[in-house]
Chains A and B, each alone.
Chain A
Amino acid sequence: MTTHDEIRNLLGVYALDAIDHADERAMVETHLARCDECREEVDDHRSVAAVMAQAELAAPTDLWNRIGSELESAQSRRRPRWSLIQGMTSIAAVVSIAAAVGLTVLWTQASRETEQLRDQIAELQAGIDQARSELQRDPIELAADRAAASGTALEVTVGGDIGTSRAVVLPDGHGWLTNVEFAPLDPSQTYQLWAIQDGTVISAGILGSSPGTVAFQIDASKLEGLVITVEDAGGVVSSSNPAAAAWLAQT
């Protein structure tokens, strides 16, 4: 059982995003949800941090244009949502009129309208879901796609018993694991990524039990392979477990 003092001791590091264990972070968040005093302290730390971040480098001039074009696609996604809400309001209106007047004819008509509206809503929802999945893409995933499209990147499949993922590595050593379709592990375990470089195996990242897209950094000039192992949560410095998925360069 954690005491209030123990939680309080974590408020500074929590506000600075310096807690890397998800369960420890969740513990603080649970506490913050019901403790005004601690929430205020975190808010204070964050505003101090924001003041501390005075270092203002000029953002690239074309960045707003990028954001603006993203908004246009977000806008086309949002419009159906408004009509969705209007649709729901109409259903509510139709149903309440029917209840008040109590006429069978009206009720039948209402349910037909309700049916039609429901179909329309389902259609809109499908459109929204599709648009959302496209728009909510991870920036890391987008970076990987851009890198792969540059044509100078190594793009390979890391696969094995656990499933497959796509790895993209740039000549400067920036790498991404995307389209990760590994079977989820028990939370007490984690996938770990290893790079074989110049005959040595080096940890390139702890991926968690149900990994999504991740970025990593390696020495691309010496890359001979990428290997995934299953380890206890937290990962290991060197592994004695067999490869659960791998890509090996042709020698």
Chain B
Amino acid sequence: MTGMALAVETTYIAPLVPFADHSDDELAAVIADRHPDAEAALEEAYRRYGDAVFGLALRVIHDRSLAEDITQDVFVSLWRRPDRFDPSRGKLKTFLLTVAHSRAVDLIRSEQSRRSREEREHLKVVRSTPSIEDEVIDIHMAEHVRRALDTLSIDERRAIELAYFGGQSYRQVAVTLNEPEGTVKSRIRSGMKQLGRVLEQHR
């Protein structure tokens, strides 16, 4: 009798936060398989990366309500087209941020009014506060990122920041920095490679 009760009990034992112990790739697989708990898996993915996606979108677009729309869009599109995430090509976080960045930049390009560009240039970069739930590794990583950025030349760094956080095209970056387009292209590439090398060392 006791044994039976135990069996029933074990059936109902569930982790406090479902999927908290799953890896990102496992989460993505649960979502892609349309597992009955797929929505809980998506919620866990959102719990892990919702802030990062929202933070990047807001940093690029400078508009909270549009940043919310982008965040919603990113997770709903992971839900609808989970096959677009290919774990062999990178991490889930990279994928979600890539989608968010491209949506944010599309929105910026579609409102290319000269006036709004001028306004944006005067806006300060929104500084973030790491959320309490950030994992320790992320705090270390943030420090590494700062150090890695410090190894770039000022020109490489400005070009990358204008393109990535400012949502500018390389042609616009060239105008902003008063440099030839070819120079901007190669600076961004060499800077990204340099960052990759430095970050790799800290891995």
Chain A contacts to B: CB under 8 angstroms:
8-13, 15-20, 39, 43-60, 63-64, 66-68, 70-71, 74-75, 78, 82, 139-140, 142-143, 174, 195, 202-206, 214-219
Contacts and interface: CB of A to CB of B under 8 A. Distances in A.
B105 interface: yes
A214 B111 contact: yes
Contacts, number: 214
Question: Interface on chain B toward A: helix, strand, loop, or mixed SS?
Answer: helix
Given A50-B97, A56-B128, A218-B113, A13 B66 contact: no
B27 to A, nearest CB: 15
A143 B65 contact: yes
B24 interface: no
B72 A216 contact: no
B141 A47 contact: no
Nearest to B146: A54
Given A47-B94, A142-B69, A18 B51 contact: no
Q: Count chain B CB atoms within 10 A of each CB in A11, A16, A46, A52 and give the residue with the most.
A: A16
A217 B192 contact: no
B72 A52 contact: no
Nearest to B156: A12
Contacts of A195: 113
B: interface residue count bin: 35 or more
A18 B173 contact: yes
A57 B94 contact: no
Contact of B163 (A18, A67, A218): A18
A53 B168 contact: no
Contacts of B84: none
Contact of A216 (B55, B75, B113, B163): B113
The A contact surface, by secondary structure, is: helix
A44 B196 contact: yes
Contact of B145 (A8, A52, A74): A52
Given A43-B94, A216-B116, 9 more contacts: A17-B102, A19-B170, A49-B94, A52-B160, A52-B195, A53-B59, A57-B54, A60-B54, A215-B111
Contacts of B105: 17-18
Contacts of B173: 18
Contacts of B35: none
25 contacts: A9-B189, A13-B188, A15-B192, A16-B101, A18-B105, A18-B168, A18-B170, A44-B192, A45-B189, A48-B196, A49-B101, A50-B93, A50-B94, A50-B97, A53-B164, A55-B126, A56-B55, A57-B128, A57-B129, A58-B131, A59-B68, A63-B72, A67-B71, A74-B79, A203-B113
B94 A217 contact: no
B46 interface: yes
